[in-house]
Amino acid sequence: MQTILIVDDDPHIREVVRFALEKAGYHAVEAADGQAALVQFADLVPDLVILDIVMPELDGTEVCRRLRAQATTPIVFLSSRDDEIDRIVGLELGGDDYVTKPFSPRELVARVRAVLRRTATGLEAAGTAAPPVASEGLVTHGQLTLDLDRFVARWGGVEVVLTVTELGILRALSGFPGKVFSRDELMTHAYREPAVVTDRTIDSHVRRIRRKFSVVGGDPVQTVHGVGYRLGPCDPAAG
């Protein structure tokens, strides 16, 4: 039974979400504020976190920053604001999905299930074409290595911590090294379940990927202006 940590300062929302998750077969644990969430996370190491953005004292964005500093556990944001800027900020911080209030409990459970399925299956949604070098979930292209069984990415042997969605995007690109992916195609390959996203959402994920790899001197993604993205050469001079 997978454990879901629900973080929201509204007890009614926590109750509704917990009931829906438990009905779907998950073990749900609640936290009423950001500080309690960090404690619960350390104690339980949940499989996924449902995280409200707007909370007093320690808000969801700060909780996300602290969680991302130590783990790649999937995070689904909740927010009462449906502004695209808020959505992009949530994804920039490392969120895997974003649900606005008021929401359907069934939809939230479906989003949770989709994110967990992507994690459990190793994100093998990039098609049937063989990657450049692959062995039991290992993909290698120049300096880039993706270990899909362990959800680990490396550049020149140095680990780069990615979210599930970010790893899915790289898996899609590395599955077809010469192909230029439109933004819609990237999300189709990165998500096993249908997802409604904007071009800015895709760009946000790619910016995060580039930012993380730039720390170790790399950049695995090339922009094809007016079209989309493709896998770069991933050679030592790429960053």
Neighbouring CB atoms inside 10 A of 118's CB total 23
Last residue of some domain: 121, 154, 174?
121
Give the mean model confidence (pLDDT) for residues 100-114: 87
Residue 219 sits in a domain whose CATH number is 1.10.10.10
Q: Is 194 helix (H, G, I), strand (E, B) or coil?
A: coil
Q: pLDDT tens-digit profile of 1-21?
A: 899 999 999 999 999 999 999
Domain that holds residue 213: 133-231
Last residue of some domain: 90, 121, 152?
121
Phi, psi of 50 (to 5 degrees): -100, 115
Q: Does residue 117 share a domain with residue 8?
A: yes
Residue 94 sits in a domain whose CATH number is 3.40.50.2300
Please tell me the predicted confidence (pLDDT) of residue 90.
65
Mean pLDDT of the chain: 80
pLDDT at 194 over 50: no
pLDDT at 207 over 70: yes
Give dist(CA 2, CA 117) in Å, integer.
11
Residue 59 lies in a domain: yes
Q: Does residue 106 share a domain with residue 9?
A: yes
Q: Does residue 37 share a domain with residue 60?
A: yes
Residue 236 lies in a domain: no
Please return the burial class of 219, using the count of CB atoms within 10 Å of its CB with bins 0-12, 13-18 and 19+. middle
User: Residue 123 to residues 126, 147, 169, 192, 239: CA-CA distances in angstroms?
Assistant: 8, 11, 9, 8, 26
Total domains present in the chain: 2
Lowest mean pLDDT among 58-62, 130-134, 178-182, 191-195: 130-134
